[in-house]
Structure 1
Amino acid sequence: MTTPLEGRPGPDDHDPSGGGNASAATGATSARDTAWVRRVGLFLGGQTVSLFGSMLVQYAVMWYLTLTTKSGAVLMLYALFGMVPQALVSLFGGTLADRVNRKALIIASDATIAATTAVLAAVMGAGRTDLWLIYAALTIRSIGAGFQTPAVSAVLPQLVPGDRLLRVNGVNTTIQSAMSLLAPAAAGAVYAAGGIVPTLWIDVATAAIGIGVLASLPIPRLSRAVSDEGAPAGGGGTAGDGTAAPSSYLQDLVAGVRYTFGHRLVRWMLMVYAIIFVLTVAPSLLTPLMMARSFADETWGDEVWRLTALEIAFSAGMLLGGAAVALWFQRRSREHMILAAAVVFGLLAIAIGLTTDLWVFLALMSATGVAVPFFSTPATTLLQEKVAPEYMGRVFSFVSVVLALGMPIGMIVFGPLADVVRVETLLVAAGAVTLLVVVGAGLSPDGRAAREDGRAFRAASLAGSGNEPVGR
């Protein structure tokens, strides 16, 4: 069952007159093609500006906590306050994203995050630097992200034709990687010149720009889906006059849970996400701590420079990987790319834990960055292709829950251990466990089904049909 999207672009757009002048039909199609590209460009542009400011805050807060405390336990709390609230509200935020105007929801969430950052900047600028203030701001920002993230992920398929999703997601990953390359350099310069407070104010300004761009952008509104029996997709019944009765919020929430865990591919993707974020992303949060401890010799330069170099190396790799996915991996099996990237994450974690040379460390971090788009881009695209549009927000809310909980759960273990065990040892152990668990995920019943689907997709692509299989 599909949901009609008012104004949604797609490969089947045709002359609404059903005939007539061929040149007029061609002109109409070209106009529609141009229209979706322009909408996507504006949407991604506004989100990129906002993302840039958020990245500055991310680096500045993490560096501030790392350099002032050098404590794994503090970084654990940073992860908990920054991610757990998002996990707790994401499910409700995703359900809301399937019921209300998604654009308005994104704007409201972004405005709340910006206001919180402005308050923190004002308070810290007045001389208050208590850790609880930072944790409180991280908590509110995380709650805002819990509503914003599922809505943003659900909006993109409304703007992009289905056969262009992987390419657009690849371009989006490349743009984000470019911002990741610029942000640490900018954050390092601003932080070195004025500390954390100016960085916070820049985030407020970029959020205002992003909100302004999004407010001016027309986004198709999602129509409430109705099944063949006349009941809304969320689980509502029918009204007394025989028309479809609107489902309640609770009915939509329950329907989203049933859909998510009844969908084999979605269930498998959630498992793979959990593996990577608990065993790979969480330990990677300790790499700045490894840099501050293991490469503290003054011959390696200033601490802020070293932390900036670490983030630039990682982001440069992401930029290259995102460009490669967008340009050359359109018809590769999404499932196989995800599993291959997960294996590479495990191997690189082990290699990073074994290195004692700064430049090798930076090169391995860059290689890890290259692998990220080969995991994140096909994973996002696969869900966008396979999930029914009317359930998109709720499914991505579950993804947000897994992503938001995965890092804190991992940090509950790795953070305190980092104060008694070398970070390098933790990375080697995490990488080894990642390899074992990823193999298990690939061999599980859901994993075998996913790989079979990937093989069918690859076979169809190699057949030279020029089109992806139905449903992809």
Structure 2
Amino acid sequence: MNNWKKVFTIIWTGQFFSILTSSVVNFAIILWLTFETKSAETLAFATIAALLPQALLGIFSGVFIDRWSRKLTMIFSDSFIALCTLLLAILFYFDQVEVWQIYLLLALRSVGSAFHMPAMQASIPLLAPESQLLRIAGINQMIQSACSIAGPALGALAITMLDMTYVLMLDVIGAAIACTSLLFVKIPNPEPSENAGEQNILQDLREAQREVYSHKSMPLLLTLSILATFFIMPVSVLFPLMTLNHFSGDAYQMSLIEAIWGVGALLGGVALSARQYKINKIVLINLMYIVLGTGFMLSGLLPPSGFIWFAVLTAIEGVTGSIYYASFTAVIQTKIAPAILGRVFSIYMSISMLPSMLGLMSTGFIADHVGITNTFVIGGFVVLIIGVISFCIPSLLQVGKLTVGENTRNI
């Protein structure tokens, strides 16, 4: 692990281009569907197609991630996603594309993501010292945030200057760069568990369950995170409607709020990556619950004339959301055995995605029957309470305490 900085520089360079081009292409597809269909329902179905396979496969994909070479898993996953994008580019080139084909290929891309993302997260503890995991998670958040800011802008520019065929080819090029970068690094595989190769899928999943339950309060940490996500995601879906309906904003203000959230998330990643912090990560997670929940509540209580304060609160929420996710990721990477980490990450990602789709499908119902501002207040209150309750559970705080290795290891 002595050369972990060099290894991550190579990996991050490739991943940056891959994530950025994917963000560009995803937004370009959204714009194309918007212009062609002018249907909110079509956009919702496209988003569900891009999420549902990953959510369903995530329950089982971690089993294979822990069995296979994680380096090859990432390379083949990226290559599969690129192949799906290439097929869509060919359909656009011959002017044969139909909306159902876009749904299908978005779903197939999601299959690749179900293997790539958990494999990447599960590989990190094998490449870097334990004391640096929070810092690395911050850098990952920084890259994701930068791409989420630049991607839509570049996607809008690309679709006005290039044919969709060539826009889609950007993603193929990004995947090729990511796969090539992985060829230049060695990603070790964890020592297999005692029964590796002798168990079926269900037994492998039970092994992951036993590993999680062997750490006191780890199941509670995961449950609280999933519960918080259940209330955070419907609120996040309503940000554009909040800007449009409550603050009487326009398209510019809607895009401004999205960009402000991204900039906040970027700053959160920068703060974590700047230095090594010796802090109880559970304390950090709980504080972020409280700040994020308070931000949502205050946003929902703002008068229609309070758009500027809404923008300020959105920036704070972006920072706290980034720090929360990076801290949570670092806790899992620190505590769970590397041989089982793929399963834990894939199952968590799978379960936490379900609220996203629920929020997406119920946006209209929530806006009409609960009220947008009420949704912000209710969702924020629940997230705030989760943070307060978490501080009252000593065993949960124990999960995030620095280990001996974190205190004494020299980097």
TM-score by length of 1: 0.76
- For residues 70-117 of structure 1, give each alpha carbon's deviation from its aligned partner in whole angstroms, at most 9, with x where no partner exists: 766555434432222112111321111111111111111111112222
SS in structure 2 opposite 1:221?
coil
Q: CA deviation at 1:402?
A: 2.1
Corresponding residue number in structure 1 for 2:358: 409
Question: Given that residues 93 and 148 in structure 1 are in contact (C-alpha distance below 8 angstroms), is that contact kept between their aligned partners in structure 2?
Answer: no
Corresponding residue number in structure 2 for 1:22: none
Corresponding residue number in structure 2 for 1:312: 259
Please say if 1:429 is aligned against 2:378.
yes
SS in structure 2 opposite 1:264?
coil
Residue correspondence of structure 1 range 111-150 to structure 2 within 5 A: 111-124=79-92, 126-127=94-95, 130-150=98-118
Question: Given that residues 61 and 346 in structure 2 are in contact (C-alpha distance below 8 angstroms), is that contact kept between their aligned partners in structure 1?
Answer: yes
Taking a change above 3 Å as real, the CA distance of residues 204 and 466 of structure 1, as seen in their structure-2 partners, is closer
Residue correspondence of structure 1 range 77-96 to structure 2 within 5 A: 77-96=45-64
Q: CA deviation at 1:338?
A: 0.8
1:320 partner letter: L
Corresponding residue number in structure 2 for 1:153: 121
- For residues 56-80 of structure 1, give each alpha carbon's deviation from its aligned partner in whole angstroms, at most 9, with x where no partner exists: 2333344555677776655543443
- For residues 139-158 of structure 1, give each alpha carbon's deviation from its aligned partner in whole angstroms, at most 9, with x where no partner exists: 11221111111111111111
- For 2:159 and 2:38, locate their aligned partners in 1 and report how far apart those are by CA, in whole Å: 17
- For residues 184-212 of structure 1, give each alpha carbon's deviation from its aligned partner in whole angstroms, at most 9, with x where no partner exists: 33223224445866543322221121111
Please say if 1:391 is aligned against 2:340.
yes
Taking a change above 3 Å as real, the CA distance of residues 364 and 69 of structure 1, as seen in their structure-2 partners, is farther
Q: CA deviation at 1:39?
A: 1.2
- For residues 285-330 of structure 1, give each alpha carbon's deviation from its aligned partner in whole angstroms, at most 9, with x where no partner exists: 2323444556776xx5xx3x55543332111111111111223571
Taking a change above 3 Å as real, the CA distance of residues 63 and 396 of structure 1, as seen in their structure-2 partners, is same
Question: Given that residues 130 and 405 in structure 2 are in contact (C-alpha distance below 8 angstroms), is that contact kept between their aligned partners in structure 1?
Answer: no
Question: Given that residues 300 and 374 in structure 2 are in contact (C-alpha distance below 8 angstroms), is that contact kept between their aligned partners in structure 1?
Answer: yes
Please say if 1:60 is aligned against 2:28.
yes
1:251 partner letter: Q
Corresponding residue number in structure 2 for 1:49: 17
2:136 pairs, out of 168, 188, 197, with: 168
Q: Which has the higher helix share?
A: 2
- For 2:171 and 2:163, locate their aligned partners in 1 and report how far apart those are by CA, in whole Å: 14
- For residues 195-242 of structure 1, give each alpha carbon's deviation from its aligned partner in whole angstroms, at most 9, with x where no partner exists: 8665433222211211111123222233324xxxxxx154x7xxxxxx
Corresponding residue number in structure 2 for 1:251: 203
Question: Given that residues 66 and 340 in structure 2 are in contact (C-alpha distance below 8 angstroms), is that contact kept between their aligned partners in structure 1?
Answer: yes
- For residues 124-151 of structure 1, give each alpha carbon's deviation from its aligned partner in whole angstroms, at most 9, with x where no partner exists: 4555665433322221122111111111
Corresponding residue number in structure 1 for 2:221: 269
Please say if 1:260 is aligned against 2:216.
no
Q: Unaligned regions of 5+ residues in structure 1, if any? A: 1-8, 10-32, 226-231, 237-245
Please say if 1:215 is aligned against 2:188.
no
* CA RMSD, Structure 1 to Structure 2 (Å): 3.1
Q: CA deviation at 1:378?
A: 1.0
Corresponding residue number in structure 2 for 1:367: 316
Taking a change above 3 Å as real, the CA distance of residues 332 and 117 of structure 1, as seen in their structure-2 partners, is same
- For 2:243 and 2:165, locate their aligned partners in 1 and report how far apart those are by CA, in whole Å: 24
The alignment covers a number of residue pairs equal to 407
Q: Unaligned regions of 5+ residues in structure 2, if any? A: none
TM-score by length of 2: 0.86
1:399 partner letter: Y
2:75 pairs, out of 92, 102, 107, with: 107
1:85 partner letter: P
2:293 partner letter: G
Please say if 1:378 is aligned against 2:327.
yes
- For 1:385 and 1:212, locate their aligned partners in 2 and report how far apart those are by CA, in whole Å: 28
- For 1:369 and 1:57, locate their aligned partners in 2 and report how far apart those are by CA, in whole Å: 23
Please say if 1:185 is aligned against 2:124.
no
Question: Given that residues 185 and 308 in structure 1 are in contact (C-alpha distance below 8 angstroms), is that contact kept between their aligned partners in structure 2?
Answer: no
2:350 partner letter: V
1:278 pairs, out of 200, 220, 230, with: 230
1:337 pairs, out of 284, 293, 297, with: 284
- For 1:358 and 1:127, locate their aligned partners in 2 and report how far apart those are by CA, in whole Å: 43
